[in-house]
Each structure stands twice: as structure tokens, then as C-alpha cells.
């Protein structure tokens, strides 16, 4: 049971932040879109699955795929963190920055803190060499 | 569990050319197994994880419950019907959540596409419901377009849900009318990026663009599954779904196989089918009533209803196993019920539909009861079992016998089993399928070919 719960947490984190990354890119072309947490996770799951299919044409799905997943997810997490920092600099902006993540009503005020904690812990674990202070340069 | 070994193939070598020759079912090539293999960690742990179906149940179940909690704020309840059918579907597969079966993942994604599509324009503009109003601000055409892209992903998960892609016509036509060429090209591009690896893998795995559909015959490679086998496999799917259980009876006329199919259904499946028929009557009645009153049902939802009906027809003709089309079968009764709840003002037709709906609920009850009992019995029996408090139960392993297929030893289950294993690689569910093959080269990635092809 514990392994299942941890596995779900890992899948959720990887899919969520990969989804965040993809929607950051999509928002440049499709203004006005506000995906909810579920939509971000679904997007991440689709991207990871399609990527795994492409990779499987050439080689097995092993640690290589995890490196890809973690890279995408970390990039997504760092972007979210950057957005949150950018939002924090404005009065009341932090809530605005995370508003797009709660549009399906799943994450309320506590959800914001939870997600922020998630971002921080994820980045801290997997991006030890990322210059967090410079993340804003990546914000689209 | 013929899928399990495909996950192992993903992990070990990605794919083997012509691997559909050693087990024809490998040719179906569901993308869901790619997702399952990413989070299987067979290369890291002694016992690989199989948690992805449970994860999808959690995500979509959570989404459905959260949406239903906002029930009162919804202007219409087509989306709520979708959410309810997601929850019933999850109840249906709950005791098999640990299985990486491809139809579970495919139908959960399909149910999400349907429910999210149906929830467009559902929120009232009440300022008190910030999140809902926020969601309402999304451009519905763009949302439909993204869901259409997701429906192409569903196609790669299970071809039997392929008709969901037809929904893409609605946003496609709207974007074309607005002459938003860039967006049309962007969405087409996304769809192609999603479908392309599925098609490339099909080419390598079976030599067909879509296996076992032999109507498109583009490639002539030595690892191609012979057309006769592909046609036999397609006939098997159809005839097993129809309860005929004999591929040779593929040409049995509909009037003959429908009674056989009906007799093969469980009692609670029959009642579900009856409830579906009643829901069609209610939906049609409500559609005509709304048209007569010049308050037609919303086009966005009607278009998806039409796609659901087409998908049900496709399911019925091509692979009429209840479990393969369950999401499409669960939606109409839920939609009919919620449509009636939306009624303002009662007249004779509403009372008639209300009575029909009551009867419909009566018919759905055995289906719900059956799976609710399954789930609760399972939970009572296994919840907090000490054995699985830390680790998940491992995949079942059948006793196998080694078969020499060219240069490689392929494991096949010992009679009377016909399940494939995760632990043995390469392996097949059916020894006679592997015995028709030989190896193509020195490595497993070079794969297998049928002995009668490419000599």
C-alpha cells in the first residue's frame, strides 16, 4: 500500500509539472486558456506517454525515460516557482499566479500552499544545480 | 493478462520487429502500456509496480466528485452526467485497479473527454463560485479543440474508442469559419505528433498501419503478420464479442447473432442495456420537446451525444463486449436522468419521461448493486492485509514451457493456462502462435517473422 501511495505521488508530481511546462508553452499561442489541476495532470500523462512511445522505437523504457520525465517535470516546477515568485513581488499577485491552477475547483487556499510546497520540494530534490534566483528569465 | 509481457518488452527493448507474430495481441499496440511501463520501474525494483490504472481512477474520480459537489451552481447537468458515469465506471473496475488492462485506461480517458466536453457552458456566473466562473471564462472552442486532441490520444489507447475523434469536427469547423488557420494547423500538428509514434510502432510491430484492420495495406516487410492471421484475429474479436466464440462464424447475420449475444450477457448487463434503450427514448423525447418549444438543447452537448451514439453503434458492431464500451453505455442513462431533473414545469410528456426514468433507474440498479457488492466484498477481504501494507502484490506468474523460435527461446504458458507473464521474456500467451515464427536476426530488437513470409 505504501509503495502504491508513493508511486501515485511520484506519477502525480511528474505529470503535473510536465503538464505545467507544456501549458506554459501553449499559453504563448493560445491566450486565455486556464487549465485546472486535472487538465495539467492529463496533459502531463499524455506527453509522457507519447514521449515513451517515441523513445521505445529506438530503445527500452528504463532509467533513460525517468531522466527525461524528471527533466521535464523539474523545468515545469521551476517555471511554476518562477511564476509564483514573480507573482509574490506584486501586491496580492501570488494568488493570481496560482489562480490558473485552481480553475477546476480542486485546489482551494490550502491547495495553493500544498502546490507551492510541492514545487519547492520537487525542485529542491531534483534540481540541485538550478540557479533558482534566475528562474524569472525563463518565464514566458 | 496478455498485456503484461508487452510492458516488459517496452522496458527491455522498446519493441521487437514483428513481435505481433509471436502473440497476435501484441499487434494492438495500446499506448496505455507505454504509460504503464514508464511507471513500472521493472529495471529498478524486484517487483515492478502496476499502479497506473489506480492513479487514473484517483485523478478522474477526484475530478468527478469535485464537479458534482458544485452541482447546484450548474446551469445544465450534461457534465454532471459524465461525472456520474466516471464514478460508476470506477466502481465497476475498482477490484481490478491493479491491472494494467488497456481498456480501463482508455475508457477512463474517454469518459474524461466526454464529461469535460459536456461541462462546457455549465457554470452559472455567480460571483460566489470563483473557480467555476474562472473555468467558464475559457474559450469553449479552444477547450473543445484541446479535448479533440485528447480524443486522438484515446484512439492510440484503444482503437475501439476511435470514433470519439469525430468530435474534432465541431471545433475544427468553427475555427475554419473564423479563418484561424494557425490554430487549425497547431491542433492538427498536435494530433499528428500524438498519433505518429502509434503508427510507427504499428509498422514495426505488425507491419500494418492499424492492426488487425487489413483495409489499409501500405507496407510489404518480411516481419508483417500475414493478412489471413490479421483477418482471423479481427474475426475472433468480433465473434467473441458477439458470444459466438468461433472466428469461422464471422459472417453470421445480425438477426442470428443478436439473440446469441443477448443470451451471453449477465443479468445485470442485460438490465443495463434495457436502461440504455429507455434513456434513448427519454433523450429523443426531450430533444423533440425542446425543439418544439424553440429552446433547443445546446449544440456543443448535442454534438457529443451524437458522437457517443455513433461510438455505441461502432462498439456494438465491432467488439460488443460490455466492458469495451461501458463508458458509452453508462452515459445515456445518466444524461437522461439529469436532463429530466433540469425540467422546469411539468406536463404530460414530462410525467411520462419521469415514469420511464424511474423504470430506467430500476434497471440500472442490478448493475450498480453487482459492482458495489464486488467492491465492498473485496475491500472487506483485503483492506489492510498485512502482507501488502508496504509493497504491492506482485504480478501473477504462470508455469511456462520453453519454445525454440529461431535463435531465441520464447516462454509459453503450460496448459491449461493462456496468460502471459511479466517475469518471463520474451514470452507469449499462445504456443501455437509462436511456433509459426522464426527469428529475424541476432538481437531481440530484430524480432520475429512468420515462417511463411519473407523467405
Nearest CA in chain B to A55: B14
**Residue B49 cell numbers, joined:** 509496480
Count CA atoms closer than 13 A to B21's CA, side-chain side: 30
Which of B10, B38, B135 comes nearest A48 by C-beta? Answer: B38
Test A57 with B134 for CB contact under 8 angstroms: no
pLDDT recorded at residue B348: 79
Test A61 with B70 for CB contact under 8 angstroms: no
Chain B residues with beta carbon closer than 8 angstroms to that of A42: 59, 109, 112, 150
pLDDT recorded at residue B57: 94
Q: Write the secondary structure of B175-194 as one string of H (helix), E (strand) and C (coil).
A: HHHCCCHHHHHHHHHHHHHH
Mutate to test the interface with A, among B63, B123, B180 (most CBs of A within 10 A): B63
Least confident of A77-86, B44-53, B79-88, B433-442: A77-86
Neighbour count for residue B416 (Cβ, 10 Å): 6
Chain B residues with beta carbon closer than 8 angstroms to that of A22: none
Whether A56 contacts chain B with CB within 8 A: yes
Test A32 with B139 for CB contact under 8 angstroms: yes
Cα B184 to Cα B171: distance, rounded to the nearest angstrom: 9
Distance of residue B92 Cα from the nearest chain A Cα, in angstroms: 20
Test B390 with A32 for CB contact under 8 angstroms: no
CB A120 within 8 A of CB A113: no
Q: What is the largest CA-CA distance in chain A?
A: 50
CB A81 within 8 A of CB A98: no
The DSSP annotation for B106-173 comes to HHHHHHHHHHHHHTTT-B---TT-HHHHHHHTS-HHHHHHHHHHHHHHHHHH-GGGGGGGGGGHHHHH
CB B311 within 8 A of CB B164: yes
Report the mean per-residue pLDDT for chain B: 87
Cα A130 to Cα B175: distance, rounded to the nearest angstrom: 41
Whether B150 contacts chain A with CB within 8 A: yes
Whether A65 contacts chain B with CB within 8 A: yes
pLDDT tens sequence across B281-332:
989 988 888 888 887 888 888 999 999 999 999 999 888 888 888 999 999 9
Chain A residues with beta carbon closer than 8 angstroms to that of B31: 49-50, 53
Mutate to test the interface with A, among B30, B38, B185 (most CBs of A within 10 A): B38
Using left for φ > 0, alpha for ψ between -120 and 50, and beta otherwise, residue B59 falls in alpha
Whether B37 contacts chain A with CB within 8 A: yes
Which of B142, B193, B201 comes nearest A57 by C-beta? Answer: B201
Res. A125 pLDDT band, cuts 50 70 90: very low
For chains A and B, what is the number of CB pairs under 8 angstroms? 153
Least confident of A57-61, A120-124, B303-307, B398-402: A120-124
Neighbour count for residue A91 (Cβ, 10 Å): 6
pLDDT tens sequence across B50-85:
899 999 999 999 999 999 998 888 888 899 999 999
Cα B453 to Cα B455: distance, rounded to the nearest angstrom: 6
CB B224 within 8 A of CB B207: yes
Chain B, 234 to 253: residues with Cβ < 8 Å from chain A are: none
Instruction: Using DSSP, state whether B6 is helix, strand or coil.
Output: helix
Pick the residue with more confidence: B311 or B353?
B311
Cα B32 to Cα B39: distance, rounded to the nearest angstrom: 11
Whether B32 contacts chain A with CB within 8 A: yes
pLDDT tens sequence across B76-119:
889 999 999 999 999 988 888 888 889 999 999 999 999 999 99
Chain A, 78 to 97: residues with Cβ < 8 Å from chain B are: none
Test A106 with B38 for CB contact under 8 angstroms: no
Nearest CA in chain A to B129: A105
Q: Does B180 score more than 80 pLDDT?
A: yes
Q: Of B409, B439, B441, whose CA–CA distance to B424 is shortest?
A: B409
The DSSP annotation for B229-290 comes to HHHHHHHHHHHHHTT---GGGTT--HHHHHHHHHHHS-HHHHHHHHHHHHHHHHHHHHHHHH
Nearest CA in chain B to A2: B390
Q: What is the ipTM of this complex?
A: 0.91
Q: Of B185, B161, B159, whose CA–CA distance to B172 is shortest?
A: B185
Nearest CA in chain A to B7: A61
Neighbour count for residue B346 (Cβ, 10 Å): 9
Least confident of A115-119, B93-97, B232-236, B318-322: A115-119
Pick the residue with more confidence: B305 or A140?
B305
Amino acid at each position: 500500500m505504501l509503495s502504491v501511495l508513493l508511486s501515485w505521488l511520484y506519477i502525480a508530481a511528474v505529470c503535473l509539472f510536465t503538464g505545467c511546462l507544456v501549458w506554459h508553452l501553449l499559453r504563448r499561442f493560445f491566450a486565455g486558456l486556464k487549465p485546472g489541476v486535472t487538465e495539467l495532470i492529463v496533459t502531463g500523462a499524455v506527453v509522457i506517454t507519447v514521449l515513451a512511445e517515441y523513445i521505445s522505437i529506438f530503445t527500452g523504457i528504463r532509467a533513460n525515460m525517468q531522466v527525461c520525465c524528471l527533466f521535464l517535470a523539474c523545468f515545469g516546477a521551476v517555471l511554476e516557482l518562477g511564476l509564483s515568485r514573480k507573482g509574490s513581488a506584486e501586491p496580492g499577485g501570488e494568488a493570481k499566479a496560482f489562480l490558473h491552477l485552481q480553475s477546476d475547483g480542486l485546489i482551494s487556499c490550502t491547495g495553493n500552499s500544498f502546490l507551492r510546497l510541492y514545487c519547492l520540494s520537487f525542485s529542491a530534490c531534483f534540481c540541485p544545480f538550478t540557479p533558482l534566483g534566475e528562474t524569472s528569465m525563463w518565464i514566458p | 493478462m496478455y498485456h503484461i509481457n508487452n510492458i516488459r518488452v517496452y522496458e527491455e527493448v522498446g519493441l521487437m520487429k514483428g513481435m505481433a507474430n509471436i502473440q497476435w495481441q501484441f499487434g494492438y499496440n495500446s499506448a496505455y502500456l507505454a504509460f504503464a511501463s514508464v511507471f513500472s520501474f521493472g529495471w529498478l525494483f524486484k517487483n515492478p509496480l502496476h499502479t497506473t490504472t489506480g492513479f487514473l481512477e484517483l485523478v478522474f474520480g477526484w475530478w468527478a466528485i469535485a464537479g458534482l459537489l458544485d452541482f447546484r451552481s450548474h446551469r445544465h447537468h450534461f457534465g454532471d452526467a459524465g461525472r456520474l458515469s466516471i464514478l460508476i465506471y470506477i466502481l465497476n473496475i475498482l477490484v481490478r485497479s491493479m491491472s494494467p488492462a488497456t481498456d480501463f485506461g482508455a475508457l477512463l480517458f474517454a469518459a474524461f473527454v466526454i464529461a469535460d466536453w459536456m461541462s462546457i457552458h455549465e457554470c452559472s456566473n455567480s460571483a460566489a463560485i470563483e473557480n467555476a466562473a474562472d473555468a467558464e471564462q475559457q474559450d469553449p472552442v479552444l477547450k473543445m479543440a484541446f479535448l479533440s486532441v485528447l480524443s486522438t490520444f484515446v484512439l492510440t489507447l484503444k482503437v475501439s474508442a476511435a470514433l470519439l475523434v469525430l468530435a474534432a469536427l465541431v471545433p475544427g469547423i468553427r475555427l475554419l469559419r473564423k479563418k484561424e488557420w494557425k490554430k487549425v494547423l497547431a491542433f492538427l500538428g498536435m494530433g499528428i505528433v500524438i498519433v505518429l509514434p502509434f503508427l510507427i510502432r504499428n509498422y514495426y510491430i505488425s507491419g500494418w498501419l492499424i492492426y488487425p484492420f487489413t483495409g489499409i495495406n501500405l507496407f510489404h516487410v518480411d516481419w508483417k503478420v500475414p493478412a489471413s492471421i490479421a483477418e482471423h484475429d479481427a474475426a475472433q474479436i468480433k465473434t467473441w464479442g458477439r458470444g459466438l466464440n468461433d472466428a469461422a462464424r464471422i459472417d453470421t447475420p445480425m438477426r442470428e447473432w443478436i439473440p446469441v449475444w443477448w443470451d451471453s450477457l449477465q443479468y445485470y448487463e442485460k438490465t443495463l442495456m434495457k436502461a440504455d434503450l429507455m434513456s434513448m427514448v427519454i433523450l429523443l423525447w426531450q430533444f423533440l420537446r425542446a425543439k418544439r418549444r424553440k429552446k433547443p438543447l445546446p449544440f456543443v452537448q448535442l454534438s457529443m451525444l451524437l458522437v457517443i451514439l455513433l461510438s455505441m453503434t461502432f462498439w456494438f458492431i465491432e467488439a460488443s463486449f460490455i466492458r469495451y464500451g461501458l463508458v458509452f453505455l453508462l452515459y445515456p442513462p445518466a444524461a437522461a436522468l439529469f436532463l429530466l431533473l433540469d425540467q422546469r414545469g411539468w406536463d404530460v410528456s414530462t410525467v411520462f419521461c419521469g415514469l420511464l426514468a424511474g423504470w430506467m433507474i430500476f434497471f440500472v440498479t442490478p448493475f450498480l448493486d453487482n459492482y458495489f457488492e464486488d467492491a465492498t466484498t473485496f475491500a472487506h477481504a483485503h483492506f489492510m492485509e498485512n502482507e501488502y501494507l508496504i509493497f504491492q502484490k506482485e504480478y501473477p506468474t504462470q508455469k511456462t514451457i520453453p519454445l525454440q523460435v529461431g535463435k531465441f527461446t520464447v516462454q509459453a504458458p503450460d496448459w491449461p493456462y493462456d496468460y502471459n507473464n511479466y517475469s518471463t521474456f520474451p514470452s507469449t500467451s499462445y504456443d501455437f502462435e509462436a511456433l509459426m515464427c522464426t527469428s529475424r536476426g541476432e538481437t531481440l530488437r530484430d524480432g520475429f517473422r512468420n515462417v511463411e513470409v519473407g523467405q
